[in-house]
Structure formats: structure tokens, C-alpha cells
Amino acid sequence: MAVLGKPGISRMQARPGAAPARGVPPPPRPEGEVVWYQATTPDHADLAEELAERLTRDRPGLHVLLTGAPGILAEWSPCSGVLACPLPGDDGPAVQAFVEYWRPDIGIWTAGEVRPALLAAADRSGVPLYLVDADAAHLPGTSWRFIPSATRAALRRFGLIMARSSADEIALRRRLGLRDAAITVTGPLRVTSKPLPFDQGDHEELSALLRARPVWLAAHLRPEEAEIVLQANAGIIRVSHRALVVMAPERPERSAPFREALEAAGLRYVAWSEGARPDETTQAILADTAGELGLWYRIAPISFMGGSLVPGGPGSDPDEPAAHGSAILYGPNIRDHVAAYALYAEAGAARIVRDAATLAGAVRRTIPPDQAARMAHAAWDVATKNAAVMDRLVEIVLDALDARGAG
């Protein structure tokens, strides 16, 4: 299967009617069903892999066609079951050629940035269309006084609209005039995090060794955050002297700076890579082995997500601790996960910190079991709702494909 931009795969010559964007020929149209998935943002593009994986479980041979702006596709990582192709220009011949070339069995549009001519061509060809994750920030014309009729007509071509929130539904019905449209509020559509693997024997042993001790995790840590975490931990143990911190470097194979920081702080620690086990006097664990975050998320009821106290940093995925029942703490530098952290913070599942003092204060406030449990439950609730939105989308697509096949 050819994937746009994937190394080692020769690009085909442009075919008549293929309407390549910017001179780049599209991959060949595969046999079988094709689900056309238009990504408005990089986050939506990231969902293509999960959507394809879920759909092909029930319909082997199905392919997802991912389209989007060239900048979005440039950031996307090729994956099995997904073809990628830029959208054509929004003019009659180009969009008609696009639809005739790909012959999609269903069209899924994300967020709300519509292309009237393209949607009209798909509609004329009998392609069922759905708008998912409808977001007022991307809806065309929500701040306009007069909405172009082409925009309203394009939005009316969607058989179902899944809105992020009630406010987004109101924007669609009132500002865009879709009062009679089939709109349902589902919450945001996001990648669902799966629980990470762990060793059951290690979990049972550590749970027994650390029973009744306050434990917190600093995950995905950058070297420049080590001193901040240890300064915070010093403030924590002054109040809760039996507290223990687990430090998990972003790159476990480069743990030397963390060892140096632990030794400079004078903490009694064990390095997990050396097979050592904590005892009653241990104050820190250096989690310096790859692939074991699933264990530490399960051991620690509180997780500080690293990379977020580094200026300009991307932050770390908050869905990871949420999927394992851990309360979430994070810094202000979360460039790649702003929307996700906003959801968890709004639900009371996450707290922002800015330095060692605020991190220490947040951990101290969260250490009481009832507080950690409350935040962890809220995080789990958000993660479960995220999964339910993808479940609903997959159900809609499969039902539409069944109906199309029966017709």
C-alpha cells in the first residue's frame, strides 16, 4: 500500500481525474471500502490510526483515506491501514475528479472548516457525510452577522453532526441557522489512551513494600527539571517525612544527570535498573528502565507530568496517568496537549504548578487518600468519556457501511 511521503515507496505518475494537490500524485485507490476522513487539525490527523484500527477489526480490508492541509499531513506519521492525500482545490472539476477517483463509501469531516464545492460533489455522488467534533472555534462564520448561503448549504449536507459541547450546538443551530439539523452533543473526539503494560509480580512486591507510604511520581522528566522536582520533594518530606518520590526520566538510558541530582540532594535512593528494592529508609526511586511507566503509574496515586516546566516545552500526554487512576499535576509548558489538560483541569482531575514551591504545595494537598482518589476518579471519568466518543463514531461508520452495502 502506498502512503504519501513514506520513504522507500515510489510515487505513481498522476492519473487522469486524480486531481493531485501541489503536483503530488495520490496513492492508488485500494480495492474494498474506503472511509474518507478529513482532519482539520494535527490532533484530528492523529486519530486516523485509531479509527482505522477500530474499523478494520470488524471489516478487514477497509482503508481510511486521510485528507488535510499539506502542513497537517507533513506532521502526520504514516501508519497501517491509512492512506494520505492532500485535498484538491475547492473548484468544480478538481473536486469532482477527487470524488470519482477515490469513490469513498463514507465521508467524515472534523471540527467544521467546510469546503462547499467538495461536500456538494460528495453529496451528489451519494457519499454519506458526517461532521464530528464540531467546534465553534473552527465553525465557519460563527462571528459573522451574515452567513453565506453556501456555508449553510454545505453544513446541511451532513446527515449527523456530533458537537463538542452545548455551546457548539447553539452556535450551529442559532448562528448558522441549522435549527432542524440532526445534532448531538458528544464531547470532544480525542485519541484514547490505553493502559500501559506492567509486571504483576513487581507491582505486588512494591505495593507491599510501600504500603501506607505517600508516593508520588515525576514522569517523563527532562534533566533540567530534576532539581525542581527534588526541591519540591524537600518541601514535601518536611511535612510528610515518609513520602517517597519516583523519578522517571524521559529517556531512561540517559539517567546520569538524575543520579547526580539525587546524590547532590543527599537522598537515600535506589536505581530500579540495578534490581534494588526500596526499604523503609528509601526516599526516592530512580525509574531508569524503559517500558515500565505502566508500573509506576499504578504505584503512585499522584503523577507530575514532566517536560511542562521547560520553557517552550511540549509537555507530556495527560491521558497516560488518567488511564491508570492517577491524579495529574503539570506545568505551564504543554504546547502539544493544551486542549487535553484543559479538559482534565476543568473536571478537577489536574492541577497546574509553576515551580518547586507550587509543585510541593500541590503534592501536599493531593497526598490525602480522599483527595488523590477524587482527582483520579475525575481523570478516569474524562478518559472514559473520551473513549465513548470514539466508540460512537465507530458505531456510526459501521452502521452506515452496513446500510450502504445492503442498499
Summarised one tens digit per residue, pLDDT across range 122-163 is 999 999 999 999 887 776 654 444 456 777 788 889 999 999
More confident residue, 232 or 78: 232
pTM: 0.71
* Terminal-to-terminal C-alpha distance of the chain: 29
The mean pLDDT value for 232-249 works out to: 96
Chain CA centroid to CA 179, Å: 31
Q: What is the largest CA-CA distance in the chain?
A: 74
Mean pLDDT of 228-243: 96
In the chain, pLDDT over 70 holds for what percent of residues?
Answer: 91
Residue 300: partners with Cβ closer than 8 Å, 6 or more residues away: 215, 216, 217, 246, 326
Q: Over 90: is that where the pLDDT of 241 sits?
A: yes
- In which residue ranges of the chain is CATH 3.40.50.2000 found? 200-385
Tens digits of residue pLDDT in 82-114: 999 988 887 889 999 999 999 999 999 998 778
- Distance from C-alpha of 64 to C-alpha of 67, rounded to nearest angstrom: 10
7, pLDDT greater than 50: no
What is the tens place of the pLDDT at every residue in 345-373? Answer: 999 999 999 999 999 999 999 999 999 99
Architecture of the 200-385 domain: 3-Layer(aba) Sandwich (3.40)
Mean residue pLDDT across the chain = 87
Q: How many Å apart are CA 399 and CA 401, to the nearest integer?
A: 5
Could you give the residue range(s) of every CATH 3.40.50.11720 domain in the chain? 21-189
**Domain covering 21-189: architecture:** 3-Layer(aba) Sandwich (3.40)
97 contacts 25 by C-beta, under 8 angstroms: no
Rg from Cα positions in the chain? 25
Residue with the larger pLDDT of the pair 260 and 405: 260
Residues 18-75: pLDDT tens digits?
444 445 578 899 999 999 999 988 888 989 999 999 999 999 999 999 999 888 888 8
